[in-house]
Each structure stands twice: as C-alpha cells, then as structure tokens.
C-alpha cells in the first residue's frame, strides 16, 4: 500500500522531472496545481470580486440577516509568495463572518515589498469601510498560512499602535515563515527532505520574494549571508536555545560557525527588515500586537519559526493560543479534503482555527 508521505514525495519528484526535461518550470506547474478550489455557487453567500486600493480581493458576505455587526477576516494565502490565488477554503464556522481573500502580487515578477504592500493596502481599505460590509470594528482578524502567515504577521506589526485605524482583534498564523537568518534551526535539520516544503525550497522562495532570483542560495543555506554582529544581535530571538528541548530529540546536531561573505550580505541585507522577517521586530512593536493564534506542524521546516515567535509574543505579554500537530506537515491545512487527499490531522488543525475564531 502506498502511504500518504510516499505519494507526496512522488508528486514532488515528478515536478522536478518536468523542470529538468524542460517541459515545464516548477513555478509554472506549481501555479497551475495551486490555483485554489473552484467554489461553486453558495446560496448562503454573496461573493464579489473587487479591488481594495487597486488590490484584487474576493469578498464573501453571508446573505442571512444578523443581529449585529459581523466578524471580519482578512485572509492572505500561502504559496511561498510565488503561488496562490483567490480560491480559498471556507470552513464551517466562518460562514457568519465577512471574509476578504487578498490576491497580492506574486514573486519573482513582483519582488518584496510588493506582496506586503498589497496586503497592507487591502487591510487598510477594509478597516476604513467596515460599516459598508456590516463588520464590527472590534472584531477584525488577519489570517494567513505559510507565506500568508508571514504577511499577516507583518501587517499586524505595521498596524500595531496605530490610532488612525481600528485595532485588530487577533492574528492567526498557520505554519508561518517568519525569518531568513537561520536555515539550520532544529526543524530545518530534522525536516529538510519532508514534503511539501523542503529546506532548499524555503530558501529558494525567500530569495525569489526578496530579489526575484535565487542567487547565493547555497551561501544563505549555510548562513554566510549575515554579519557576525547582526547574528549576535538577533541571537536573543533567533536561536536553537529558545526552542524547547522536546523538539530537539530528532537528528539535531550543533553546527560550527560559517565564514561571512560581505558580497552576499549586500544582496540580501533586507532580510533584516521586520516587514520581511517579522521575528526581528523590536519588543516595542511586539508587545502591542493583538491576541494571537499560532499553528505549527512537527514535520515542517517552519516549525521553529512559529515556536520562536510564540515565545517572543508571550515574553511581551501577548496572549497566545498555540496548536501543534504532532503528525502534521507543511501545507496540511490546504490539503484537507482536496483532490482526494484527506488527512485527519488537517481536519484537526482546521477545527482548531475555527474554534479560535468562534471565541472572538
């Protein structure tokens, strides 16, 4: 019998074969298969494709009457800043909310900060027009998975402390990627070859988003792209020392220092900007963030990004709900009940998100 993991590895290998034979690039193929679910007409929803500050969005509004203003959810899709579309999951439990799915510009055609700016502009427009959509200004949530979690965290940080917009009620970060300083954290070592996100792919996507190309990927993977003084500065936040010991029992080994390469740093120094790597935001920003939900998966290179951010939020007095899928892998939420895939842990993760939303 073919296991789920074997099937995922087989799919990943086929994509690599297509690129090597010149039939199709990984980006082209990935965009094709990740177009999102084609949602049929839902008699309970009024669906509109609009533009918020010139950013394409899809707005899902319940047709049923409500006793009062509804919850509002801004959703930023995942896909390494390279893939993804307006198609999204509408799980049971969000049907009483106004949901805005944001189609931000994609890399490599549109480099950082394009995706971040689109998500921020769309969010600001929504916050300025909540009354039009019947949304409670005290119950607006930003949500995203993977790269979308990165964008949700960056938008939340930018709006923290702002008095000209309603304060966000919460942020929901589903296996987010939050830093590009260290691709050798325990989760990167343990899960380097686990689908759906390999260690090399994580660095590849980050570089495509930053620069539009993946030059110097090997140096970035080795850690030669960050000066010693900055690495020391950020060690208080990005360090294996801040990862609980129970997450280090699988195949983790201490790595020696690597030689710093100044020329590489010059091409990637914006990795130190919090709008790209939210884990590097100052405490003065982090302590103003709203209540947070973080979902992590054991078999995910990005697991430790979520764990490190959880610690940062808690250290700054932010209330955090953390849900960890011990049998989960990167992308499992999007795969739940999709094209024949059905992973029980994906359903548990989805339910945890919905339960958190219902509590707000």
Exactly one of 101, 146, 156, 224 is catalytic; name it: 146
Tokens for 108, please give them.
């490599």
List, for residues 127-136, the tens digit of each pLDDT value: 999 999 999 9
Give me the long-range contacts of 9-14 (CB less than 8 A, separation at least 24).
9/195, 11/195, 12/195, 12/196, 12/198
On the question of pLDDT at 140 being above 70, the answer is: yes
For 301-323, what is the mean pLDDT? 98
Let me know if 239 is a catalytic residue. Answer: no
Q: Is 330 a catalytic residue?
A: yes
pLDDT of 228 above 90: yes
Indicate the CATH number for domain 35-358.
3.40.50.1820
Q: DSSP states of 38-106 as a string?
A: -----TTEEEEEEEETTEEEEEEEE-S--SSPEEEEEEE--STTTS--S-----TT-TTEEEEEE----
Between 88-92, 121-125, 239-243, 332-336, the lowest mean confidence (pLDDT) is in 88-92
Mean pLDDT of 130-155: 98
Confidence of residue 234 (pLDDT cuts 50, 70, 90): very high
**Per-residue pLDDT at 88 exceeds 80:** no
pLDDT by residue (tens digit) across 174-194? 999 999 999 999 999 999 999
The answer to whether residue 259 is catalytic is no
Extents of the domains making up the chain: 1-33, 35-358
10 or 283, which is more confident? 283
333: left (phi over 0), alpha (psi -120 to 50) or beta: alpha
Lowest mean pLDDT among 49-63, 234-248, 314-328, 335-349: 335-349
Tell me what the mean pLDDT of segment 49-67 comes to: 94
* The pLDDT value given to residue 6: 46
Q: Quick one: pLDDT at residue 34?
A: 53
DSSP code per residue over 109-154: TS-TTHHHHHHHHHHHHHHHTTGGGTEEEEEEEEEEETHHHHHHHH
Task: Answer yes or no: is pLDDT of 322 > 90.
Answer: yes
Question: 217 with 207: CB under 8 angstroms?
Answer: yes
Amino acid 85: pLDDT: 86
Instruction: Give the count of beta carbons closer than 10 Å to the beta carbon of residue 28.
Output: 11
| Cβ neighbours for 258, distance < 8 A, ≥ 6 positions apart | 222, 223, 224
295 with 320: CB under 8 angstroms?
no
* Sign of the four-CA dihedral 174, 180, 186, 192: positive
Q: Which of 111, 116, 108 is nearest to 31 (CA)?
A: 108
pLDDT of residue 93: 57
For residue range 12-35, what is the model confidence (pLDDT) as tens digits? 554 555 556 554 456 765 555 555
Distances (CA, A) of 305 to 20, 51, 145: 31, 32, 13
Look at residue 95 in the predicted model and tell me its pLDDT. Answer: 75
- 118, 136, 300, 304: which one is catalytic? 300
- Catalytic entry in 330, 334, 345, 352: 330
CA distances from 121 to 117, 162, 324 (A): 6, 14, 31
pLDDT of 339 > 60? The answer is yes
pLDDT value at residue 8 = 47
40, pLDDT greater than 90: no
pTM of the shown model? 0.91
């Amino acid at each position: 019998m073919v296991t789920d993991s074997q099937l995922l590895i087989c799919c990943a290998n086929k994509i690599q074969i297509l690129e090597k034979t010149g039939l199709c690039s990984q980006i082209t193929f990935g965009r094709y298969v990740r177009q999102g679910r084609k949602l049929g007409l839902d008699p309970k929803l009024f669906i509109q494709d609009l533009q918020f500050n010139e950013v394409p969005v899809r707005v899902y509004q319940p047709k049923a009457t409500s006793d009062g203003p509804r919850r509002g959810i801004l959703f930023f899709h995942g896909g390494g800043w390279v893939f993804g579309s307006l198609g999204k999951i509408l799980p049971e439990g969000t049907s009483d909310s106004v949901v805005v799915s944001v189609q931000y510009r994609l890399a490599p055609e549109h480099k950082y900060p394009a995706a971040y700016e689109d998500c921020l502009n769309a969010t600001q427009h929504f916050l300025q027009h909540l009354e039009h959509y019947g949304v409670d200004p005290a119950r607006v949530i930003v949500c995203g998975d993977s790269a979308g979690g990165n964008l949700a965290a960056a938008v939340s940080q930018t709006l923290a402390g702002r008095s000209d917009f309603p304060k966000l009620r919460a942020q929901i970060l589903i296996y987010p990627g939050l830093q590009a300083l260290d691709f050798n954290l325990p989760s990167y070592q343990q899960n380097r070859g686990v689908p759906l996100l390999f260690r090399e792919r994580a660095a590849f996507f980050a570089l495509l988003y930053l620069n539009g190309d993946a030059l110097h990927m090997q140096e970035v993977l080795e850690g030669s792209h960050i000066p010693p003084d900055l690495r020391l500065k950020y060690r208080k936040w990005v360090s294996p020392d801040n990862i609980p010991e129970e997450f280090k029992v699988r195949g983790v080994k201490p790595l020696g220092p690597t030689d710093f390469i100044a020329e590489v740093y010059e091409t990637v120094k914006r990795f130190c900007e919090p709008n790209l790597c939210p884990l590097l935001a100052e405490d003065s920003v982090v302590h103003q963030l709203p209540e947070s939900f973080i979902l992590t998966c054991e078999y995910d290179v990005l697991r430790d990004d979520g764990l490190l951010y959880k610690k940062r939020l808690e250290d700054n007095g932010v209330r955090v709900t953390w849900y960890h899928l011990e049998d989960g892998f990167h992308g499992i939420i999007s795969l739940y009940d999709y094209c024949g895939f059905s992973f029980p842990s994906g359903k548990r993760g989805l339910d945890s998100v919905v339960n958190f939303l219902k509590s707000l």
